[in-house]
């Protein structure tokens, strides 16, 4: 059974099923994605019932050999690197490199900033 709470953000306040980020142990509203103030007991229950926040992954994500982070890599100085630890990705095939470069350009254009 899912846990439902009112959002603690005064601008939202909606009834929703919050999720917990297991890396940071912070709880987020399912509607406004704002951080929620909840008890330790509630956090444990969210983990137990499986209301865990998952990161949206790109289809062109690469898993870093160093830190195990799975994300779209950065491209600078002619090489791909991990956005988390800046470790260099060496085992990317040429066709996949072109697809990743196109995806990085697309993300850069959508966000209006460098990736």
Number of helices and strands (H, E) in the chain? 2, 10
For residues 107 and 49, give the distance between their C-alpha atoms in angstroms, rounded to a whole number: 34
Q: What is the pLDDT of residue 115?
A: 44
Q: What is the pLDDT of residue 113?
A: 55
From the centroid of its chain, how far is CA 53?
8
Measure the CA dihedral 55/58/97/66, to 10°.
Answer: 10
Single pTM value for the model? 0.52
Which residues does the chain have with pLDDT short of 70? 55-57, 111-115
From the centroid of its chain, how far is CA 33?
12
Distance (Å) of CA 27 to CA 40, 70, 87, 114: 10, 22, 30, 29
How many other CB atoms sit within 10 Å of the CB of residue 34? Answer: 15
- Tell me the H-state helices in 1-115: 40-49, 94-111
Q: What is the pLDDT of residue 56?
A: 67
């Amino acid at each position: 059974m899912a846990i439902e709470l009112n959002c603690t953000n005064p601008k939202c306040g909606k009834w929703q099923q919050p999720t917990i980020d297991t890396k940071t142990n912070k709880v987020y509203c399912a509607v406004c994605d704002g951080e929620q103030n909840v008890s330790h007991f509630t956090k444990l229950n969210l983990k137990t019932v499986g209301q865990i926040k998952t990161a949206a992954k790109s289809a062109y994500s690469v898993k870093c050999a160093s830190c195990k982070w799975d994300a779209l890599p950065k491209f600078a100085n002619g090489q791909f690197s991990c956005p988390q630890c800046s470790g260099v990705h060496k085992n990317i095939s040429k066709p996949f490199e072109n697809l990743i470069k196109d995806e990085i350009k697309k993300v850069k254009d959508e966000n209006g900033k460098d990736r």
